Structures are given as C-alpha cells and as structure tokens.
Structure 1
Amino acid sequence: MEYRFIAASIALIITYSLIALRGVSRRFDVPAWVAMLIGASIMIATGVVTPSEALGSINLNVIIFLFSLFTIASALEVSGFLSYVAYRLVSSSRKMYNLIGKVFLSSAVLSMVISNDGLAASFTPMIIESGKAAEGIDVKPLLYALAYGVTIGSVMMPIGNPQNLLIAIESGIPKPFVSFIKYLAVPTLINLAVTYILMLILFRKRAMDDLEVKRVNMRLNDPALSNLALVILVIIVVVLVASDLVGLNLDAALIALIGATVVYALSDRRGEVLSNVDWQTLVFFMGLFIVSEGAYTSGVLNYLAHALPAPTTLWGIFLASILLSQVISNVPMVALYLPLMTSLGVGPGMINDWVGLAAASTIAGNLTLIGAASNIIILQASEKRGGPRFSYVEFLLYGIPVTLVNASIYYAYLKLI
C-alpha cells in the first residue's frame, strides 16, 4: 500500500504540475489532455491500477453523454449556426461590457436547464467566431464570462451539471427540484449580479472598448442541419426535464445518444460533424477517471479527506469541496464524498448539507482551470479553433476573488435560511 501511495502521489504531482505550468513554461507546455494521459499512463505503468481496473474506472455514461452533446455542438458549428449567432450577438452590442454581460447572462440562464459541459462546448466556438465579426476584439474576457456563467448558473438546478444530478439522486433528498430552487435560487441570482460587477472590475481595461463590427451578409450555410440539431437539442432537454419531474428516471446518456444518432442518420454531412467532435476533451475525461481511480485506491484521496475538516458541518463541506475539487475536479469529488457523508450520518433530511455540497463543489470550478470539467472544455475548444489560451496562474488570479465572493454568498445564505 505504501508503494502505491507514493506512486499515485507522484503521478498526481506530475499531472497537475504539467497543467499548472501551461502558459508559464514553454519547456513543459503540453495540452491538458496530454497531461492527464501522462498521469493515467503512470498510474497503470507503476501498478497503482491494473489495465482492467483502469478500463473499468472510465464512466461510460459520462463519456457517451458528452460525446452526444459534442455531436450536437459540432453540428451547430458545421451548419454555420454558431457563426450566425455570434455575428448577431456582436452586431447588437456597442460596448465590450454589453457583450460580456450578454455572454455571461445567456450562458448562466441556459446552464440552469442544459448541462453546463454541453453548453460550454456549444458556446465556445460561437465566442471564437465573435472575434472574427468585430475588429480587434479580445475574446478572452468573453471566455471567462462563459466559464463563470455556466458554473454559477448551473448551481441552482439538479440538471445544471453532473455533480448536482448525482447529489439529487444519491442523497435521497425529498423533491430535489423544489429543494434546489428553494435553497439555491436566491444566492445564485445574487452571485450572478455580483460576479458581473467583479468581471467589469477585473477586465476594466477592456470593458469600455468600442465594438466595430464588420458588416457582412451573414447566412446559415446549412439551415437543414442547423434546424435538425436545434430540434434534437430541445427534445433532449424537454425529455430529461420531464423525466425528472415525473420520476421516470430515464438514462440521460441513452437519451442524448439517441439524439446524436438521429443527427448522424439524417444528415449528409455526418463525416464533417464526426471529425469536428471535441475528441481531446473526451480523452481528457478518460484520463481523469483513471487518475482519480488511482488516487482513490492508493489511499491518497482518503489521506487528503482526513486532513480536511469532516464533511458533517456546512463549513467542513465547503472547505473540503472547494479544495478537493482542485485535485480531482468536482464530479469525481462529489462521487467520492456522497458515500462518505452518508456514512458520517448526513441523512436525506439534512438538505442544507446536500445543497451546500452542490453549491461548493460547483463554484469550486471558478477557482482553477481543473476545478471543473467545463473549464477544460472551454480551454480545449478555444485552442482547437486558434483562440486564446489560459494559463493556470492567470485563471487562478482571476478566480480567487470570484470564488471567495461566490462561496461567501452561498455559505452565508445557507447558514441563515
């Protein structure tokens, strides 16, 4: 056990050091998905996990769900829909702060009912295209607005992100939709208003820039594919929401996969759609599952968990969630903490604790690049299309004040309610 603990620790240090050094050191400048693949390889090569254990650790439901959402996002991009929306979004704005607000608010509202990972995949290409629609526009503040928007907006609904869905199902809390809205709607709305003001302060040098839009005759290049993808997306969302409301408990991954299959079956541009899928992010997730499995089975995560306050108080839950999410990302963190909290006596009726876990683990994504999968999706999608890159340090410097404010508002509200 001691050997596996040391080997897993080394793998984690190497993996996250490579991610942290991106944009700081050219010598160690490797993409996040490559860094995670290196970590997974070390876990297997050193025997921390066997090849079969590594394969079994990959959550196929998550991979299939993301692949399906990426397929729809790819179809919207190939059809020209995202370019069209980007142009309309930019052309209706005269100042950069208007555009930042539109991206932030629209992504936050949509992430309440659409998985934030899928929304990040759909919006990032649109934002990169906006840089082509306006002269000299710096899209990096818009990408930060997207990252913060999909994170904060997704807090208040069980279907906003994967970790919330896990909590809603596994914790046993009564009427999860009602509970999430009752406990998290007000602080989420407050956080949206405060975070927008914070972004204007953080990006004050660019927020007052005028936007000079290139006047072009922008049209969809494939309206049929665009309409197909949009209809499928709406059907997926409606079916999943209805399923949760009436208690059908339909498999989200299966529903999304059926939708993606229909897109491939009915479109004659299926090859373009498939090749444009964000494969790098899927590889990142597979590596993340293997690295997380190694950290868990070796005892590293157990050590870290016991070094932090026990998740039996709201303060302990917030601290553990925010810190551990920076090590293994928030979805695996919640998956590991659900049985731990249950074993420590946190029951279904202790709604404050469960929604506290949802809020803290989600807004942890605003602190660092690896705190949330949506951040990685935005990073990978931006780099794939020649957009700006994020360094770990830069994201952290912006993320510290945003996360402190977000966490304080959620914590204070849940203590008072």
Structure 2
Amino acid sequence: MDKISKIVKEEWLFFIALMATLISSLFLKRMPEITRGDLKILIVLFNFLVITKGLEKSGLFAKIASRFEKGNPFLKLTLLSGILSMFVTNDVALFTVVPLTLSLSISPEKIMLLVILEALSVNGASALTPFGNPQNIFIYYYYHLHPATFMKAIFPFFIFSFILILGLALFCGRKKIEITKKECEKKLNKREAVTYCGFFIMFIGVIFHILPIEASIVPPLFAFLKDRNILKEVDYFLIFTFLAFFGFTSNISSVLKFSLANPHKTLIYSAFLSQIISNVPAALLLGKFTNLWKSLLIGVNVGGFGTLVGSLANLIAFKLFKNKFNNLTRKYLLTFHLVSFLLFFASLMFSLLII
C-alpha cells in the first residue's frame, strides 16, 4: 500500500491526466482519438529517453560534471546545468548535476542557493533546442517546424533569461570551494558512452529530418539486446502522461471550438496556465486550440519559472534537495519562489515586448 501511495504521490500529474481523460470520455461518451502525429511524438520521446538513460548509465554525464569540481561552483555548475539541458533535457541535467552539488563542502544554505540556480538554469537554457524539454519536443513535432525556425523564435527568451540566471550565479558565488569526490565519482564505460553518443547523433538526424523516424527503433533494440536495465529505468510515466493528455485534449477539442488567435493572449494564457498545471500539460492542452506556435512555445517556457509546479524540473530539484536537507524545506520554498517569480515576470514582460 505504501508503494502504491508513493507512486501516486510521485506521478500525480499522470494520474490527474488519466482521470481527466477517463471522466471526459465517460461524460462525452466517446473514445479519445490518438493521431499518427501523436504517436510520432511518443516514439521520438521514448527513443530520446532511452538514449539519455544509456548516456547516464555509461558514466559520461558524471565524468563531465566532475571536471567542474575546482574553483567557484556557482557559475560553473549553473552554466553546466544549462548547457547539459540543451542536449539531454532539463530533467536529466538536474539528475546529473544536483547530486554533485549536494556533495559540495559548503554550508547547506549555499547548496540550497546553488540547487535553485541549477533548476532555474535548466528551465531557461533547455528552451533553446527542440529536444531541451518535453514541451519543446511536442511543439516541434506537432507544428512540423524546421530546427532553425524553432531556435530563431525562442532565442531572444533564451538569451535574456539565461543571462539573468548567470548574473545571479555570479552574484551568489563568493568563495573558492571544492567538491567531495567520494560521492561524485563514477567509472566511465567508454564503449557504452561512444555507442550512445552515436545514437544521440542519430537522434539529431531524426530531429533535423535527415534520417527517417524509423531509425528510432535502433537505440531501444540495442538496449533490449545488450542491457535491458536501461529499458527498465526509462521514465514511462512521462510517456503515459503525454498519452493521457493527448486523449484528454482530443475529448475537449471535440466540444470546445474556440481558438487562440492573439499572440499576446496566447503567451499570457500559456505562461499562467503553466503555473497551475505545469508547462508540459499546458503545451499539450493549448496546442489543440492555437496555430500561434511561437507564442505557445515562449509562453510555456516562461511558465517554467514562477511556481514550483510550473516545471517538473523544479519539482525534481526540490525533491533531491529535500531528501538531504529536509530541515531547510521551508527556506528553500521561500527563496525559490522569490527568485523564480522575479524571473517569471521579467521574462514575461520581455517576451510580450518582442512577440
């Protein structure tokens, strides 16, 4: 019973989406329609999760992170979190860098500030690439965008928010400190690292439409034949959450015929809706009601700032910190929301000016 309760607590977003789909299906007396485009997004997402899990297990991420052990970690680890998130999603970046941060030989309060900066960094930096976060993957494939078009649209938000975050990191960093290697070192499996780097290049080829989507079968097939533990550790709840929201939005769009046609309103609605239900479901929900993909893209990425639930990355960082420093939970939440809401409103005002 405790195990079930733990799963429900950790994967609350999936269960809410599932209940919303089931209730709307019963009320409307219809089965939700999952389109070919929806399935394509799920296939790409699954392929990406397998590749990033393979890279993580190879020890490559930990090896890269350990190179940032000397000097002032505030700027270095905040920058590392952001750069990693552009390529391996905001969630994976945090699971790589935050454990390293928790081993720093500094006060818990400074570790708290650094974890907060890392969470905010991945939210801002991951916005730049089509595969930086789940909502970007959805928008990129749902609207059939070209990579250059996508990155050009989001670049002003990315550079504005990331500069602000790096500025905060510089301000917070004061002392030269060291990382305790004991908790951070992990042996690098070079063969696995090279293999999954190759798969990542293949994935880029699929994203950039150089390779057909059928190429996505290679990494999962390799993992099935060589190391099934990778497949066991994939975040299937994220995939099922996408699937459930596809079903819910299909049901809702069958009865609601409104359309978001104003770019400023679309940006505002998506940013504020993200504060309540998180930015991934906000993108999935509003995508059915607007063709203004640029406003939606910027809005849900702005929405990653603000409340703790604005982005799942925020929740991951908080959970990792809370597990080690439970006594600082209240202080973490107060500090996080103060800084995060400043970034939210600053990014929102900036984005409304340039949209």
Whether these two folds match at TM > 0.5 is: yes
| Residue equivalent to 1:121 | 92
Superposed counterparts of 1:86-125, under 5 Å: 86-89=65-68, 91-92=69-70, 94-95=71-72, 99-112=73-86, 114=87, 116=89, 119-125=90-96
Equivalent residues of 2:223, 2:230 under 8 A apart: no
Equivalent residues of 2:59, 2:189 under 8 A apart: yes
Residues 286 and 83 of structure 1, relative CA distance in 2, 3 Å threshold: same
> What secondary structure sits across from 1:407 in the alignment?
helix
1:37 aligns with 2:37: no
Q: What's the offset of the Cα at 1:110?
A: 4.7
1:290 aligns with 2:244: yes
Residues 143 and 259 of structure 1, relative CA distance in 2, 3 Å threshold: farther
| Residue equivalent to 1:212 | 178
Q: Distance in 1 between matches of 2:6 and 2:224?
A: 38
Residues 379 and 50 of structure 1, relative CA distance in 2, 3 Å threshold: farther
Q: Distance in 2 between matches of 1:221 and 1:178?
A: 34
Residues 158 and 272 of structure 1, relative CA distance in 2, 3 Å threshold: closer
Q: Distance in 2 between matches of 1:46 and 1:340?
A: 17
| Residue equivalent to 2:159 | 189
Q: Distance in 1 between matches of 2:306 and 2:67?
A: 31
Q: Distance in 2 between matches of 1:45 and 1:167?
A: 26
Q: Which residue identity does 2:197 align to in structure 1?
A: L
Q: Distance in 2 between matches of 1:220 and 1:47?
A: 49
Q: What's the offset of the Cα at 1:393?
A: 5.2
Equivalent residues of 2:58, 2:188 under 8 A apart: yes
Q: Which residue identity does 1:273 align to in structure 2?
A: I
- Pick aligned residue for 1:315 from 252, 255, 264: 264
| Residue equivalent to 1:153 | 125
| Residue equivalent to 2:222 | 262
Equivalent residues of 2:41, 2:137 under 8 A apart: no
Equivalent residues of 2:82, 2:126 under 8 A apart: yes
Deviation string, structure 1 residues 338-361 (Cα, Å, up to 9, x no partner): 44234xxxxxxxxxx542221112
Deviation string, structure 1 residues 53-77 (Cα, Å, up to 9, x no partner): 47969x5555544443333333334
Q: What's the offset of the Cα at 1:104?
A: 3.1
Q: Which residue identity does 1:286 align to in structure 2?
A: F
Q: What is the percentage of aligned positions where both structures have the same residue?
A: 17
Q: Distance in 1 between matches of 2:55 and 2:299?
A: 32
Q: Which residue identity does 1:69 align to in structure 2?
A: F
> What secondary structure sits across from 1:211 in the alignment?
coil
| Residue equivalent to 2:290 | 341
| Residue equivalent to 1:401 | 342
Q: Which residue identity does 1:355 align to in structure 2?
A: K
TM-score where L is the length of structure 2: 0.73
| Residue equivalent to 1:371 | 310
Deviation string, structure 1 residues 175-208 (Cα, Å, up to 9, x no partner): x44444444424422321122224566xx4xx43
Q: Distance in 1 between matches of 2:177 and 2:309?
A: 32
Q: What's the offset of the Cα at 1:136?
A: 5.6
1:235 aligns with 2:176: no
Equivalent residues of 2:54, 2:196 under 8 A apart: yes
Q: Distance in 1 between matches of 2:303 and 2:57?
A: 33
Q: Distance in 2 between matches of 1:188 and 1:41?
A: 34
| Residue equivalent to 2:351 | 410
Deviation string, structure 1 residues 63-94 (Cα, Å, up to 9, x no partner): 544443333333334333333333222x23x2
Query: What runs of 5+ residues in structure 2 fail to find an aligned partner?
Result: none
> What secondary structure sits across from 1:208 in the alignment?
coil
> What secondary structure sits across from 1:106 in the alignment?
helix
Equivalent residues of 1:147, 1:366 under 8 A apart: no
Q: Which residue identity does 2:126 align to in structure 1?
A: S
Equivalent residues of 1:326, 1:368 under 8 A apart: yes
Q: What's the offset of the Cα at 1:364?
A: 0.8
TM-score where L is the length of structure 1: 0.64
Q: Distance in 2 between matches of 1:178 and 1:78?
A: 31
- Pick aligned residue for 1:325 from 260, 274, 281: 274
> What secondary structure sits across from 1:68 in the alignment?
helix
Q: Which residue identity does 2:230 align to in structure 1?
A: V
Q: Distance in 1 between matches of 2:281 and 2:181?
A: 46
1:360 aligns with 2:299: yes
Q: What's the offset of the Cα at 1:124?
A: 1.4
Structure whose CA Rg is larger? 1
1:80 aligns with 2:59: yes
Equivalent residues of 2:267, 2:296 under 8 A apart: yes
Q: What's the offset of the Cα at 1:259?
A: 1.9
Q: Which residue identity does 1:326 align to in structure 2?
A: Q
Residues 284 and 101 of structure 1, relative CA distance in 2, 3 Å threshold: same
Q: Distance in 1 between matches of 2:121 and 2:99?
A: 17
> What secondary structure sits across from 1:362 in the alignment?
helix
Residues 129 and 356 of structure 1, relative CA distance in 2, 3 Å threshold: same
Equivalent residues of 1:44, 1:50 under 8 A apart: no
Residues 48 and 372 of structure 1, relative CA distance in 2, 3 Å threshold: farther
Q: Distance in 2 between matches of 1:53 and 1:388?
A: 46
Q: Which residue identity does 2:178 align to in structure 1?
A: E
How many equivalent pairs are there?
Answer: 344
Q: Which residue identity does 1:412 align to in structure 2?
A: L
Residues 68 and 123 of structure 1, relative CA distance in 2, 3 Å threshold: farther
